[in-house]
Every structure is written in C-alpha cells, then in structure tokens.
C-alpha cells in the first residue's frame, strides 16, 4: 500500500506540535521534515533543535529531507535529534557516499534525493546503500509549486532498476503532489507520496490520505 508523508513545510509554524498531532491523527505513515540552509536552496527552515523538540510528541517516523550544502556536517545532530530517515541530495556537495554511510552508522535509514534536472544515472551507485530514493518533482526550496511532468519517466527508471536488482528501496516523490499527480507517480512505481500544500489545505486530511492509499500500479 502507498505510504503518505505530509510535509511540515506547509504547517502553521507557530503551532508545530499541534500540527504534528494533526498529521498523526490523520493516519499518516511518516512525517516529512524539510531542512533548508539558505545555501543549497534559497530558503531557511528548521534545524535539529526543532526536530528534537518535536520528537517526544509522536512516535510517527520522521522523514528528514536535508536540502543543505555538505550535509555530512549535520548528520549526527539530526540522528541524535530523533530523525528516522535522513535523505541527502546528490547535488549537495561533499562526499555523498560517506554521508550515507554515516547515516547508517547511527542506525538511521539513509536516503538519496535528486533534483528535477539530475539524471537517475547520477544516483545509481548509491541504490544498494540506501533505504529510499526521493525524486523531486519541483525545484527544491519552496512548497506550493507545480508538479513537473517530465520527472515521471525518472520514477519509472528508478522502479525498473530497483526491481531488476531485487533491491528493497522506497521511491518517495516530493513536490506538487495532489490526488492527480500522486496517482500518476504511483502508477510509475512510487511507494511513498510526500506532500505539503495539497494535504494541509484539505480540511479532511485523513480522508485525503485514505484516498491516496487506494492508488495502485494500474
Ligand atoms: C520542497 C520540499 C517539499 C515541499 C513540498 O523543496 O522539499 O517537501 O514541502 O510541498 P508541496 O507539496 O506544496 O509541493
Ligand atoms: Zn521535501
């Protein structure tokens, strides 16, 4: 069944604890936490202190998406703050393989992400080292952008590679996901849908999540 990971980026930042509860009450599988440094992307969001503050409020897995330069510098902080999955970008500089190994060394699940302009071939060599691949379907930095259709082929490419090599890797899609684009992504092979604006603007997040769970590969 498709998993859903609502993105805190669309939450009310003055009430993050309550928003986390709202996500949990809606039956979400994970919560997606977007970390931005104003360098890798032109926006700044939250850091490990916020993750640490939220951790005791919920048992839901924290899916932490690092949109920061040279992310190896902060892996220990996010692991200790209580992140369950930690995803780094292929374009973020530094030694990506070492960053992935470091995430694993803290007993966390590593993920690799790629921007819309980055080819799947750039991340192929990490696929037997990670637990998830996060395919960006918008340019990272801001919520509420339009889904980029041209990225769907990359989802199919990742699906084929994972299946051909009998790997156990989740395919997470992030950016512009709603009930239409989410369905397309699942048909192409996605297993997890991360979404901010479409879920938070919906008065009944629970019903929306239940609908997305019914998507299948047909
Ligand atoms: C964008 C973030 C996304 C963002 C998605 O840089 O990585 O996780 O929250 O927001 P929507 O679903 O509004 O495109
Ligand atoms: Zn994200």
This prediction's pTM: 0.98
**pLDDT at residue 9, as a whole number:** 98
In contact, 116 and 136? CB cutoff 8 Å: yes
Report the nearest-CA residue for atom 4 of ligand 1.
143
**pLDDT at residue 217, as a whole number:** 72
State the distance from the centre of ligand 1 to the C-alpha of 51, rounded, in angstroms: 17
**pLDDT at residue 19, as a whole number:** 98
Residue 203 burial (CB count, 10 A): 7
**pLDDT at residue 193, as a whole number:** 98
**Angstrom distance (rounded) from CA 114 to CA 120:** 8
Bridge partners of 88, per DSSP, are: 112
Please say if 12 is a catalytic residue.
no
User: What is the Cα gyration radius of the chain?
Assistant: 16
Instruction: Please pick, among 34, 37, 63, 84, the residue that the annotation labels catalytic.
Output: 34
**pLDDT at residue 71, as a whole number:** 98
Measured from the CB, is residue 144 less than 6 Å from ligand 1?
Answer: yes
**pLDDT at residue 148, as a whole number:** 98
Measured from the CB, is residue 43 less than 6 Å from ligand 1?
Answer: no
CA distances from residue 178 to 4, 12, 145, 173, 200 in whole angstroms, order as listed: 11, 19, 11, 11, 11
**pLDDT at residue 218, as a whole number:** 60
The crossing angle, in degrees rounded to 10, of helices 179-188 and 152-164 is 30
Low-confidence residues of the chain: pLDDT under 70: 218
- Secondary element (H or E) of residue 179: helix 179-188
**Angstrom distance (rounded) from CA 204 to CA 163:** 35
Nearest to 33 by CA among 129, 143, 158, 198: 143
**Angstrom distance (rounded) from CA 177 to CA 185:** 9
**Angstrom distance (rounded) from CA 67 to CA 140:** 8
């Amino acid at each position: 069944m498709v998993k859903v990971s609502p993105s805190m980026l669309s939450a009310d930042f003055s009430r993050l604890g309550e928003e986390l509860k709202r996500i949990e009450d809606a039956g979400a599988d994970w919560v997606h936490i977007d970390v931005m440094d104003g360098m890798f992307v032109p926006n700044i969001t939250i850091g490990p202190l916020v993750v640490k503050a939220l951790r005791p409020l919920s048992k839901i897995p924290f899916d932490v998406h690092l949109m920061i330069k040279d992310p190896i510098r902060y892996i220990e902080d996010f692991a200790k703050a209580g992140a369950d999955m930690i995803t780094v970008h292929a374009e973020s500089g530094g030694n990506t393989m070492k960053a992935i190994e470091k995430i694993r060394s803290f007993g966390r699940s590593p993920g690799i992400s790629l921007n819309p302009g980055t080819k799947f071939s750039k991340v192929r060599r990490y696929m037997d080292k990670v637990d998830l691949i996060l395919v960006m379907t918008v340019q990272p930095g801001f919520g509420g952008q339009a889904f980029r259709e041209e990225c769907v082929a990359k989802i199919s490419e990742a699906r084929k590679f994972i299946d051909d090599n009998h790997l156990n890797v989740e395919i997470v899609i992030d950016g512009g996901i709603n009930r239409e684009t989410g369905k397309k992504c699942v048909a192409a092979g996605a297993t997890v849908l991360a979404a901010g604006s479409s879920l938070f603007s919906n008065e009944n997040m629970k019903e929306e999540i239940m609908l997305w769970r019914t998507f299948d590969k047909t």
